[in-house]
Structure 1
Amino acid sequence: MGELSIYMSAVVFSGLLSLMLSLFAVFKIRSSPGGFYFILAALATALYSFSHVFRLSASSFENIRFWLNVEYLFIPFIPLFILLMCVRYVGLKIPSWLFQLLCALPVVTILMQQTSHLHTYFYSSVSFENNGPFPVLNLVPGPWYYMHAFFVFFCLLSSVLILMHQLQSVSPRYRVPTLLMAAGICIPILSGILHAYNLQPAGLDLAPVFLAVSFLFHGTALIMFPFFLVAPIARDRVFENMKEPVIVLNKQNMIIDYTRPMQKLLPVLNQSAIGQPVDKVLAGHQEFLKIIYQEKEEDFTWEIENGSYHFQPRFSLIYDKNNTDIGKIITLMDVTTRVEIEKELKELATIDSLTMLLNKAAFIEQANNANKALSRKGGYISIIMFDIDYFKQVNDTFGHEAGDRALRNVALTARDNLRASDIIGRYGGEEFIICLPDVPLKHAVRIAENLRQKIAASSITIGDQSITVTSSFGVASTYTSAGFHPPPLCPVAEQADKALYKAKSRGRNCVQSNLQLASSRRPEPEKKRNLF
């Protein structure tokens, strides 16, 4: 009985140790790679150890069999949790079907063991012996027991192989904890070998003790080296899964590495590009090369077959252990959404929300830019101003909603009958203004007349009533010789405004040009407007 007491004390200590490690892990590493399965493995081992102590303390066949069944609620899952812990630690991802299969096998083992009194698949025979220092069950393995043993060895050996393979890419800092992990997993494998060849004391199962020693290795690694507190260590697991386009260059601007998203942008990047000068590999992408050499973190547009993307480059220097600059990392941050939102906001700030034409400020800016462009090549530029005749009557008779619809209809009609290079905006109220680059006065008058006819011919429907409106137009023009500074547009707009006033005084629904002003007597406007 002294030998049994010593053994039971060792098992209790192992259970407490495993329980403490699992509780420690809950507070320290539960969110880290592999931490969740470390907690489950340690907790399952603790519960298995305590159940084993109760089985050793039992004296009747029924009680021993009961606690054996309790042990097997945890035993099949321990090797699985260890395997999953190692898989997550190195950053691997197993397919969902394989994960489901691995989880299903322990469940089947539990069902087989719990119902073993009904069949011989798990135990061929079970007998009770009470002629030794303590009562034991004599268990003869059945077919599924060997399947369970194979599963246990498969999980543990796979875990060791995964960790040993990891040593090829892990940094020296993490080799010691990785080796401790692998050594800890080898200990229960040794326990299984001793059990298979009946080399352990009769009636005693050394697995709980061996597992406790195994978790001592894991605990030492956990306390001394926080390997669970970092991302999966393997470089290829981290680098290749990055979503951002990244390229790494050494001090001599040779390509060291790149991510898959970068390869999608630059199909010329392949394995043969590694070690090659970046200017040679990317000779067909001069704009990107310019960004690399200038190292300016400014937004730029990347045109590809299925559209365009906007990126902001980020440059990070790489240093060796002596703090010497040995290269750089270029990361392209996708700012497409931000740029598109800024573009939309800018458009909203320049567009009149009712007519969807340029507002006054945006029109003046674009018209002045068009006028400045004439200094290079020379040419005419014309201004048309027009408004809706008797617009107040439309509002008073049919309501402001009808007036808004009339404004939108006039704006759409005018815009659809102009060139893409022409500039049109809502000047205020029911008044509109058009800038016609490279259009002389005579042609501008024809354009205005065409717009007048189109507007008069169009209509909107309010209820069962059709509403038509007419417009009055004033046209003015100026000429700039090539190489000369163009005159400001303000006087031209003032001439167009005077012509519009003349058209209204002539009965409305007509076109008047500034040339016609000189040959006719006209009353002066009551108040001169500041147009530009």
Structure 2
Amino acid sequence: MESHLTMYITLVVTSGVLSVFLCIYAFSKRKHLLAARQLALLTALQSIYIFGFAFELSSDSLDEIKRWIAVEYIGIAFTPVVGLLLVLRYIGRSLSRAATAALFVIPSITLILVATNDFHGLFYKLIYLRENTPSPMADMVIGKWYIVHGAYTFGSLLAGGVMLLRQWKKTNKAYRKHLVTLAGGQFIPMIASFLYLMGITPYGMDIVPIVLCGTSAMYLWALLSIQMLRLSPIAKESLFESMREGVLVLDQSERLTDYNGAAKKMLPELEMGMIGHSLDSVWRKLTGEDFPIQRGADGMQGHLQRGHGATRSEYEVRSSTIKRQGGEALGCLLMLIDVTEQRQLQEQLKQQAYYDALTGIMNRARFIRQSRALLQEADPIRPSASLILFDIDHFKGFNDTYGHETGDAVLLHTVSACRDQLPDNCLFARYGGEEFVVFMPASEQSEALEAANRLRSAIEAAQLETEFGSLTVTASFGVAAYRSGDTLEVLLREADSALYEAKRLGRNRVSVFHKESPAPA
């Protein structure tokens, strides 16, 4: 028996050391762990209970045993309540100060009654030493308040465990290990205590201190390996999973701790195995690159694009800091807002506002705004710019003879023939019904003349295939060169004058405006 007692005390002390270590770890990580203060207080109380019990087992007299029992109840009385508060904090439920204080009423009464039991016998009627034991060990006859205390203790542990189990279906599978660990911390001591009260433990020993060694080890494993208590995955579940925005939950070190279903749809490559990895590491696995949004004083804000062409999606990115009640940062929510449809609508409106609906090239209003801006940027020392105005010859005849669908095809054919002949820095627009305009910044008259002849030749050379057979399309061109002080309106007027001259001379040709008089090219 004596050797077994020594071994048992050794195991109890080991359990106490592990609880102290867990307490210190939780307190040191209080800025990073949800409910760290509750966990630190819980393990501190467990340590008092465990070491008090170890000293009780090594006591030499009944009076000394009574003193250590009173010390033990500092832990025993309050541990179930603090454990319940830990569970409530984890699942995101809050109590008022009055309700929280009320939870400590019965434990406080228990502690007082244990310390003063010799005067009233309410907690235990009788406490006595066992016979034939190598070291003094006590047994007791329980009093009325012991029953109240026991019921309250079992009720607190059971309530915490049941609340955790009720979250099972709502909890992301990656966090169910957290639930199991915390529920084990409620149910395992309760079962051990029940076995002790039933008198079916070895030598009638209280096995709860030994069991707490196991629960402390479970907590440490969960804290270190599966990031338990980094963030609560339960309180937000219903809202979190119903959000249309994709949400990535990051801890203070920008490690991924959770994501919702919307984020999974936006980023199908996301996997549970990525939880615990840094944001940059996760993004490299998804895209081969670091996360592209820069971190700023206001968090992360920007836009992301995924896919190409018709499958391209665009997301607005915003981050929101998660703070604990004291205002300390605990992590952040990185929200991905799908703005693909919004951007497409904006592009459609932009297309309607800036571009010709039929041909897809710039419309008249957009052309005038941009051309004026380019003229203002012209080199004041050696200003150069040119403008080409042209229209399709006999366009009315195409409409009257073949119909408006063929007329539209002629317009599209003309634009298609011209696109590849113009430098990239030119502005090309539909100026009117069958009239087109080209603005060439930083170009001399000779360059514009050469470009106009290329366009004329390209239009004539490209046959338009229709249901009525091959059609030849031609156009007449007018070219005007910028002179210092000219406005866009002047250039347009001069180009129009040159265009009129080209038509007068027989069409399908280019005329250049000269100050004295237009001359055919």
- TM-score if structure 2 supplies the norm length? 0.46
- TM-score if structure 1 supplies the norm length? 0.45
